[in-house]
C-alpha cells in the first residue's frame, strides 16, 4: 500500500478522535451545528479528506473510500447522539422550571366550594351511617335484569315506559343506564346474607329534561332485611332521617299509599309545610310536599334473590337528592345544579372545611 493511503486513513481516524474530545465540551445546540459544519459540511474536514482521495489510484481510492466512509458514519452518529443528549437536557431543564408545586396551600380567593349535591349526599349518608347503614355501590350501566326484571317489573309492565330509559346502542335492550338506584338492592341481596342494612347513593339517568327533570340526577336507596322487620321500623327510620336532615324536631309527615312493583305495601312520604312571609317553612303546616318513595320489600323480589320469605322481611326506600337539596337550600331551578354558573356556585356551594354535622345533618 502506498504511503498516501495510509496517511489518509490515519488522518480520518485522527479526525474522529479529535471530534470525540471536542464534542464533550459542547453544551448548546448552536455549537453542535457549528461542529457539524466543521466536520461534515461542504468544506468540512471529512469532506476535504474525501476529496483528497482523487490523488490515489483506482484500487487505493476504493479501499480508502470504504474505510473513510465507515469513519464518516461514526462521526455523523456521534454528532447526532450528542445533539439529542443536549436536546433532552434542555427539555428536562424547562420541565423542571415549569413544574407546579401542588403541595403549596391554595389561595383563599381561588378556593373552590362543595357542590350542594355533594353536600346533601354527605349529610344524608352521615345521618344514615349513624343509624347503622353501610354504603354500597353499583354500576351505572346496568343489565335490564337488575334494573327491571328482578325488581318485579316484567317487559310489558307500564312502569318500564314510565322510566324513560336510555338503552345502550347495539345491546338489544339488554344494557341500559340505570333509571334508579334500586338495582343495587338486587345486587346486594344476591351477594350477601341477611341481616342487611345498606344505603346506595349514586347517579341515575332518565330521558327527561325540563325545569323539574334532568337526564342525570341522584338518588339514595335504603334497604333493610332481617327477621321481624315491619312498617314501624321503616317509619321510624324515615322520621329520624327527615327530622335530622331538615333540622325540625317534631316534623309533621304522612305516609300516603302508593305503588311500586318492588315493594308491597308501598307508600310515598310527604312532609308538612307552609309559606310564611313568602318563605317555605318545612316540617309544619297544612300543605304537603312529597319527599320519597318506600315500602316493604315485595316477596317476589325476595324470591328472585333466594331470600326465604318465611324467615325474613324488609323495607326499602328511595329518595331524590336534588329534591332534598332544593327543599333545604331554597334552590328553585333544578337545571342550575349542572350549569356550573360561577355566580350560582359561589352562592350555593359550601366551604370545603365545613364537615356535615352527623346529629343535625347541616
Ligand atoms: N326506585 C323508586 C323510584 O325511583 C323509589 C323507591 C325505592 C321506591 C325503594 C320504593 C322503594 O321512583
Residues 345/113, Cβ–Cβ less than 8 Å:
yes
Whose C-alpha lies nearest to ligand 1, atom 2?
318
Residue 178 has pLDDT above 60, yes or no: yes
Distance CA 88, CA 94 (A): 10
Whose C-alpha lies nearest to ligand 1, atom 9?
317
Q: Ligand 1 centroid to 127 CA: how many Å?
A: 20
Q: Ligand 1 centroid to 287 CA: how many Å?
A: 23
Distance CA 184, CA 121 (A): 17
Whose C-alpha lies nearest to ligand 1, atom 5?
318
Ligand 1 atom closest to residue 223's alpha carbon, by position in its atom list: 9
| Length of the chain measured in residues | 362
Which of 29, 164, 148 lies closest to 86, judged by CA?
29
pLDDT in tens, 191-240: 999 999 999 999 999 998 887 789 999 999 999 999 999 999 999 999 99
Q: Ligand 1 centroid to 258 CA: how many Å?
A: 11
Residue 139 has pLDDT above 90, yes or no: yes
Pairing outcome for strands 196-205 and 134-135: parallel
Q: How many CA atoms, within 13 angstroms, populate the side-chain half-sphere of residue 194?
A: 20
224 contacts: CB under 8 Å, gap ≥ 6: 196, 197, 233, 234, 237, 314, 315, 316
pLDDT in tens, 116-127: 999 999 999 999
Measured CA distances, 90 to 35, 250, 274, 332 (Å): 19, 70, 69, 55
Residue 294 has pLDDT above 70, yes or no: yes
Whose C-alpha lies nearest to ligand 1, atom 6?
318
Residue 326 has pLDDT above 70, yes or no: yes
Residue 351 has pLDDT above 80, yes or no: yes
Ligand 1, CB within 6 Å, residue ranges = 180, 182, 221, 260, 263, 293-295, 316-318
Per-domain boundaries in the chain:
2-98, 116-360
Residue 358 has pLDDT above 60, yes or no: no
Which of 142, 118, 121 lies closest to 204, judged by CA?
142
Distance CA 178, CA 144 (A): 9
**Of 231-235, 268-272, 328-332, minimum mean pLDDT range:** 328-332
Distance CA 123, CA 130 (A): 11
Residues 255/290, Cβ–Cβ less than 8 Å:
no
Ligand 1 atom closest to residue 320's alpha carbon, by position in its atom list: 4
Superfamily the domain 116-360 falls into:
Bira Bifunctional Protein; Domain 2 (3.30.930.10)
pLDDT at 37: 93
Whose C-alpha lies nearest to ligand 1, atom 7?
318
Mean pLDDT over all residues of the chain? 90
Amino acid at each position: 500500500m502506498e504511503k498516501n493511503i495510509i496517511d489518509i486513513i490515519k488522518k480520518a481516524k485522527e479526525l474522529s478522535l479529535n471530534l470525540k474530545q471536542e464534542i464533550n465540551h459542547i453544551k448548546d445546540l448552536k455549537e453542535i451545528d457549528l461542529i457539524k459544519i466543521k466536520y461534515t459540511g461542504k468544506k468540512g474536514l471529512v469532506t476535504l479528506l474525501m476529496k483528497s482521495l482523487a490523488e490515489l489510484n483506482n484500487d487505493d481510492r476504493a479501499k480508502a473510500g470504504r474505510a473513510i466512509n465507515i469513519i464518516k458514519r461514526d462521526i455523523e452518529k456521534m454528532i447526532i447522539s450528542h445533539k439529542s443528549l443536549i436536546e433532552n437536557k434542555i427539555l428536562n431543564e424547562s420541565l423542571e422550571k415549569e413544574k407546579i408545586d401542588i403541595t403549596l396551600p391554595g389561595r383563599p380567593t381561588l378556593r373552590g366550594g362543595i357542590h350542594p349535591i355533594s353536600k346533601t349526599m354527605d349529610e344524608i349518608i352521615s345521618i344514615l351511617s349513624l343509624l347503622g347503614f353501610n354504603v354500597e355501590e353499583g354500576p351505572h350501566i346496568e343489565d335490564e335484569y337488575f334494573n327491571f326484571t328482578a325488581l318485579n317489573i316484567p317487559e310489558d309492565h307500564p312502569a318500564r315506559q314510565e322510566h324513560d330509559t336510555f338503552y345502550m346502542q347495539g345491546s338489544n335492550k339488554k344494557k341500559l343506564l340505570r333509571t334508579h338506584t334500586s338495582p343495587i338492592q338486587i345486587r346486594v341481596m344476591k351477594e350477601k346474607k341477611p341481616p342487611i342494612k345498606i344505603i346506595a347513593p349514586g347517579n341515575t339517568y332518565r330521558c327527561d329534561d325540563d325545569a323539574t327533570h334532568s337526564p342525570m340526577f341522584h338518588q339514595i336507596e335504603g334497604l333493610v332485611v332481617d327477621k321481624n322487620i315491619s312498617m314501624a321500623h321503616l317509619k321510624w327510620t324515615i322520621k329520624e332521617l327527615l327530622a335530622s336532615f331538615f333540622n325540625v324536631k317534631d316534623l309533621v309527615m304522612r305516609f300516603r299509599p302508593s305503588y311500586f312493583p318492588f315493594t308491597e305495601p308501598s307508600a310515598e312520604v310527604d312532609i308538612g309545610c307552609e309559606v310564611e312571609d313568602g318563605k317555605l317553612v318545612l316540617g309544619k303546616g297544612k300543605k304537603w310536599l312529597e319527599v320519597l318513595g318506600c315500602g316493604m320489600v315485595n316477596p317476589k323480589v325476595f324470591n328472585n334473590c333466594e331470600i326465604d320469605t318465611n324467615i325474613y322481611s324488609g323495607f326499602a326506600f328511595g329518595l331524590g337528592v336534588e329534591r332534598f337539596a332544593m327543599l333545604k337550600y331554597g334552590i328553585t331551578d333544578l337545571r342550575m345544579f349542572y350549569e356550573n354558573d360561577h355566580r350560582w356556585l359561589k352562592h350555593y356551594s359550601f366551604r370545603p372545611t365545613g364537615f356535615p354535622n352527623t346529629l343535625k345533618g347541616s
